Amino acid sequence: MLPAVKDYRALARRRLSRFAFDYLDGGAEDGRTLDRNLAAYERLIFQPRIMRDVTTVDASVSLYGRRQSFPAIVGPTGLNGLYWPRAEEALAQAAHAAGLPFAMSTASTSLLEDVRASTDGDLWLQLYVQQDRRIAETMMQRAQALGFSTLMVTADTMVHGKRDHDVRNSFKMPLRITPKLLLDLATHPRWCARMLRQGGSPQLVNLAKSAGTQVNINLQAAAMSRQMDMALDWDAVAWLRDHWRGNVLVKGVLSVDDAVLAQRHGVSGIVLSNHGGRQLESAPSPLEILPAVIDAVGTGLDVFVDSGVRRGSDIAKARALGAKAVLLGRAPLYGLASTGPQGVRDVLQILRDEFEITLRLLGVPRADMLDANALSPDHRARLARL
């Protein structure tokens, strides 16, 4: 096992083709949002307490009636088949072995049915809503029948953010074969061999199945961005509730006003997220708005946070500020892209170990006891100075 998530990132950079690594790792435009996400965690300082009994620590938390090993969810990411064959199955199995839920993307490259068959752990569905609402309805129906527990609708992706690296690498759907792409492939033969083993380019099979269309990555990806429902508004919550029996979360909230609106429309929770800095450039970091959101919604709404979590101590900071749990985006993917399923298991183990070490060093024996007392008294001012 490598020492830290950043070591898996470095290994992934060497092992993946250039366009695949940039797609995984990069942010929108000049990367200001991406940098801000990391800076927010860097800026927060703990206030540890000593002479407290931390012989045993309990990192577990309760979420929607289930106990999970630490406050994290393996978050939804699309096109995972670019990194390893049967990527979603690997992510789900590793999440469940680590005692965490796995959220599967609409843009996944395995079927919901295949992932369910590979594990009996807690599965969540991430939904992108397209103009033809029947596609989302069919996907919800399939997920419910398979016992997915939680629905998370992503509302920050009306269009894809401007990602310069994808343009530079000519990585856009439909994929154009350029000399640069051919060179990229030729210099990463092991990665090419893995892709060939899974039958070539990964496919958006889930979307194809719900849309009843041909399985063709180019058609699917083009259709997905063209046909996103840009008219989606808060009235959609009632529609989602009609089609989903369990918890409904809205992902992509970045303002106190939207958090309050989400609560008023009766969602179970929100994910404060800027999509890992991949969408709007110069967006706030979810961490910096977390305290004001918690002030506004109180305990009546579950508030999750993502974007920039790379360490167990980051998870402790988010939890201390009032988040129920964090979503992990890139971190498990770095593991997957470097050493496959074992890499995902390693990354989750590292994050859990770091979280437990942080609890002990803070003098907080239980994750449930983490609150703002574990942070420096000036933590709000520190975030405000970002």
Ligand X SMILES: Cc1cc2nc3c(=O)[nH]c(=O)nc-3n(C[C@H](O)[C@H](O)[C@H](O)COP(=O)(O)O)c2cc1C
Q: Which residues are catalytic?
A: 275
Q: Which is nearer to ligand X, 38 or 369 (CB)?
A: 38
- Least gap, CB of 145 to ligand X (angstroms): 22
Give the residue with the Cβ less far from ligand X, 275 or 324: 275
Q: Are 368 and 61 in contact (CB under 8 A)?
A: yes
Closest separation in Å from C-beta 37 to ligand X:
6
CB atoms within 10 A of CB 7: 16
**Shortest Å, Cβ 9 to ligand X:** 11
Q: At what angle do helices 286-297 and 32-43 cross, to 10 degrees?
A: 70
In angstroms, the CA 124 to CA 218 distance is 26
Integer Cα distance of 332 and 337 in angstroms: 9
> Is the Cα dihedral 246, 251, 255, 261 positive or negative?
negative
Of 277 and 341, nearer to ligand X (C-beta) is 277
Residue of minimal Cβ distance to ligand X: 329
- List residues near ligand X by CB under 6 A: 24, 37, 75-78, 105, 107, 126, 154, 251, 273, 275-276, 278, 306-309, 327-331
Each as own residue / partner, the long-range contacts of residues 168-171 (CB below 8 Å, 24 or more positions apart, any chain) are: 168/22, 169/18, 169/19, 169/22, 170/19, 171/19, 171/22, 171/23
104 - beta bridge partners? 125
Closer to ligand X by Cβ: residue 114 or 368: 114
How far apart are CB 382 and ligand X at their closest, in Å? 20
Q: How many other CB atoms sit within 10 Å of the CB of residue 292?
A: 15
